[in-house]
């Protein structure tokens, strides 16, 4: 397996893990009352994860383009 393929796989796994965590946070937040003290920290974590996804998806696109799989 090439290094580029490994990088693509690792990036995809990282993005998927972040997406899973973000989905779990959002599900938990939906179950909380409006005044639950956990709402703010969970929202902050969700925002951090979402912000971190942008450069990861950009890197993934660059890797995909470099591999010749891009359209």
Domain range for residue 63?
A: 3-67
Rounded to an integer, what distance in angstroms lies between the CA atom of residue 16 and that of residue 23?
10
Q: Provide the number of structural domains found in the chain.
A: 1
Residues 29 and 46: beta-carbon distance below 8 Å: yes
Can you give the pTM of this predicted structure? 0.84
What's the pLDDT at 66?
87
User: How do residues 2-50 score in pLDDT, each as one tens digit?
Assistant: 899 999 999 999 999 999 999 999 999 999 999 999 999 999 999 999 9
């Amino acid at each position: 397996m090439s290094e580029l393929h490994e990088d693509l796989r690792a990036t995809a796994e990282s993005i998927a893990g972040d997406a899973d965590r973000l989905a779990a946070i959002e599900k938990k937040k939906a179950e909380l009352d409006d005044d639950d003290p956990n709402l703010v920290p969970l929202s902050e974590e969700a925002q951090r994860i979402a912000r971190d996804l942008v450069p990861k998806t950009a890197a993934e696109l660059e890797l995909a383009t470099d591999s010749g799989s891009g359209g």
